[in-house]
A and B are shown apart, each in its own frame.
Chain A
Amino acid sequence: MAHYTLELFSPSYTVYLLYFTQVKNAKQIKENLEKFDCAFINPRLVVSVQQILFACNRALFEKFNNASKTQSLYSDVIYYMSPSSNISEAMNHYGLQESTEEVIVASFNPETLETVKTAIDGVVSNILQIAQKAQAKKMQEVFKLKDCELWIDRNLVNSVLSVLSIKDIEEND
């Protein structure tokens, strides 16, 4: 289980991540989603762990400002993974699909991940592998990244985080 610090908050928060491959019972997990205190993230459109940390950070930030977008902290995490401000589109891209064989599980509670480990029929894998598995072409399409911006960096991380950072940013009244 990998863990990462969200430095923005004091005291800081810790995010725990597990990456499962060869998952055989996604349908069953999806039917029992509300039993788990965590986010199940589809890794196909995740460029790096930073993108997940961004979403966790943003979801917490909005929660503390009483500005959560959805019903739960963890569906907000899914929502802020996506460039779309359409909740169901975000869920489609980043939420758990019945047919999926790979999933990233994110939680602020390490015990939840222990429970998830016993519930998921799959292989725990190294989270750092997700970067190689991301579908670059599809990412580019979903984040509307033109070819001319790709020469700036060697990977998509900065561009993806930039797009996500300004999502739903509006002046308060």
Chain B
Amino acid sequence: MDLTLISQGAEGKIYTCTFLGKKSIKKERISRSYRQKSLDTKLRERRLIQESRNLVKIRKEGVPVPGLYFVDTITCSLYMEFITPSISLKNFFIQNPSIPQSLLSDFANQIGKSVALMHNVQCIHGDLTTSNMLLKPQVSLATEILNDFSPADYLVNPCMVYFIDFGLSYGSSTPEDMAVDLHVLEKAISSAHPQLEKIFIEILAAYKIHKRKADSVLTKLEQVRMRGRKRLAFG
């Protein structure tokens, strides 16, 4: 198989490859040597299954996520759609110093709605950061143009915000877990993109529209924030 490593995290390796004749992504969970072997295998397998089920579950709700192509329970790998061309929201923000407000609002709406749709079916993402969101232009362009899409090109083409990395996702129906999920995103934005902090307000507004019983989550979010501040003050 023509594997090309494109990213290596703590828990896994991401490759591009050709799978079933299509350019795809392979996400392989690597074993952690400090864990006992049988426990390690078990954990990796459980996470793999969790990730695949949640990916499919929330696609069914209309959240843009990569199509899943195959779950390899032997090597603990997922094969999925290669979102391309794409740029992580994080890199998009970093590489475009000035982004029109209308575009920020568009992305905030998409993000807030998608997180609400996940939470509506009791799926907690677990790692909502701007590196786990990918912008993909919606237009159908000629392949030559798609191949050298620059960060600035994403400013002028309508994009869909894809959610990836469900490796830490889990099922929960408590407002607390949903509030923490949102708070992780809030902190991720304020630490990686302090100048864009305001976008979170719009994300919450969209979340409120689409989330059933949003109020209890937003009340919890307030408490979660306070706990965070206390920890900072007295830490």
List A residues at the B interface (Cβ < 8 Å). Answer: 4-8, 10, 12, 49-50, 53-54, 57-58, 61, 65, 144-146, 148-149, 151-153, 157-159, 161-163, 165-166, 169-172
Asked if B22 and A50 sit within 8 Å, CB to CB, the answer is: yes
Q: Do A58 and B70 contact each other (CB < 8 Å), given the known contacts A7-B18, A7-B19, A10-B1?
A: yes
A5-B53 Cα distance, complex, nearest whole Å: 27
Chain A nearest Cβ from B211, distance in angstroms: 15
Which residues in B have their C-beta under 8 angstroms from that of A148? Answer: 61-62
Asked if A163 and B56 sit within 8 Å, CB to CB, the answer is: yes
A26-B5 Cα distance, complex, nearest whole Å: 47
Residue count of chain B within 8 Å CB distance of chain A = 33
Q: Which of B60, B69, B160 contacts A149 (CB 8 A)?
A: B60
Asked if A61 and B72 sit within 8 Å, CB to CB, the answer is: yes
Asked if B62 and A149 sit within 8 Å, CB to CB, the answer is: yes
Asked if B68 and A161 sit within 8 Å, CB to CB, the answer is: yes
Q: Does B71 contact A (CB under 8 A)?
A: yes
Q: Does B49 contact A (CB under 8 A)?
A: yes
Q: Which of A4, A57, A145, A169 contacts B49 (CB 8 A)?
A: A169
A49-B22 Cα distance, complex, nearest whole Å: 11
Q: Does B90 contact A (CB under 8 A)?
A: no
Q: Does B158 contact A (CB under 8 A)?
A: no
List B residues at the A interface (Cβ < 8 Å). Answer: 1-2, 17-22, 42, 45-46, 49, 52-53, 55-56, 59-62, 64-74, 81, 160
Asked if B53 and A166 sit within 8 Å, CB to CB, the answer is: yes
Asked if B70 and A54 sit within 8 Å, CB to CB, the answer is: yes
Which residues in B have their C-beta under 8 angstroms from that of A158? Answer: 59, 66-67, 81
Which residues in A have their C-beta under 8 angstroms from that of B72? Answer: 8, 61
Which residues in A have their C-beta under 8 angstroms from that of B74? Answer: 61, 65
Which residues in A have their C-beta under 8 angstroms from that of B60? Answer: 144-146, 149
Which residues in A have their C-beta under 8 angstroms from that of B68? Answer: 161-162, 165-166
By beta carbon, the residue of chain A nearest B2 is A7
By beta carbon, the residue of chain A nearest B140 is A154
Which residues in A have their C-beta under 8 angstroms from that of B61? Answer: 146, 148-149
